[in-house]
Amino acid sequence: MYAIRMHGYGGPEVLRYEECDPPVPSTGQLVVSVEAIGVNPIDWQIRSGLDAARASRQLPTVLGVDFAGRVFSVGGGVSTFQVGDRVFGQCEPAEDGSYAEFVRVCSTRVARYPANLGPIRASSLPTMALAAWQALFELGKLQAGKRILIAGVAGNVGRLAAQFCRRVPDVTVVGVCRAAAWTEELHGICPTLIEPENHAMITGSGGRFDLVLNLLGTGFEPIAIAATRRGGCLVTPSPVVDLGHCSARGVLRIGLDRRFSRLQLETIAHLVARGTISLPPLHIEHLSSAARVHAMAESRHLNGKAVLVPGTMPTSLTWTP
């Protein structure tokens, strides 16, 4: 099979499109014939050596976490899936990943998706959708009548989070992003938008949000804390900066550590397939172009979500679902 492998850590240039042996399933595992691969920031964090998963990887290694395709072979002890099943899921970040024509994955990290969703849209979902869903409902305990601030609402996770909030009655959602991203579509998802530099409007008088989802990084953390009311919750994937400041203000700070959930992923897939939830624009490239896609994404020259296709390319390279 062909795969994107890296023999060392560094920039996009370390990614090589090369031939290697296809995987064979062990007990409890599946091999999936990959039809589409979602690209995520964790991919280039591992590639550059910034992620902790580096320590447990043996080189050369195949990058990638998210994928969609069909079950190709089944290992012993697996009864949930059969050859030919349409599936999507996530590889373990510390193991060989999904940038390949075939991927081996534990059967507990795979779910089914509706036929009308298609593999390209399905592959874009797992990491960003689970992050948004779990930040709101598992960690943030979002309830009816609450006020939520989504800092980074124009990003892939932020857009989904704003739409997921509609599932809870009487929730007030305020989004933070630069005015250049204030499109008509984004206003439709989140009508109230504030620029990140408008600190006074974001924080109000001593914090006015029950839940703050900070997707803008550590630089925005002091504003995110100030925007959270006493007794409220701040959820962020950023490293811990100042827990003392959170404690002094009576704010519970929770790190966003995603877990795989088949139930959640299948629920989200059906919402997207029905048109209840819209995805960001999808930028589709062939698997062999992974290095170029990494360079574009890291330099922020990519609008939306990148998807790699190992087989025949679709007719359009940029597609807004």
The predicted structure's pLDDT at residue 321: 43
Q: How far apart are CA 63 and CA 98, in angstroms?
A: 6
Domains, the chain, in order of start with CATH, read 2-125+279-319 (3.90.180.10), 128-255 (3.40.50.720)
| Residue whose token pair is 């790190």 | 255
pTM of the model: 0.93
What backbone torsions phi and psi does residue 213 show, to the nearest 5 degrees?
Answer: -105, 105
5: Cβ–Cβ under 8 A, 6 or more apart, which residues? 15, 16, 18, 20, 60, 61, 62, 63, 99
Q: How far apart are CA 147 and CA 199, in angstroms?
A: 17
The predicted structure's pLDDT at residue 255: 85
The predicted structure's pLDDT at residue 319: 47
The predicted structure's pLDDT at residue 253: 87
Q: Give the pLDDT of the chain (321 residues) as one tens digit per residue.
A: 999 999 999 999 999 999 999 999 999 999 999 999 999 999 998 899 876 655 567 889 999 999 999 999 999 999 999 999 999 999 987 789 999 999 999 999 999 999 999 999 999 999 999 999 999 999 999 999 999 999 999 999 999 999 999 999 999 999 999 999 999 999 999 999 999 999 999 998 667 899 999 999 889 999 999 999 999 999 998 766 666 677 777 888 888 888 999 999 999 999 999 999 999 999 999 999 999 999 999 887 788 999 999 987 665 544 444
The token pair that represents 231 in the structure block = 């007794």
> Which tens digits make up the pLDDT trace of 135-152?
999 999 999 999 999 999
The predicted structure's pLDDT at residue 268: 98
The predicted structure's pLDDT at residue 40: 95
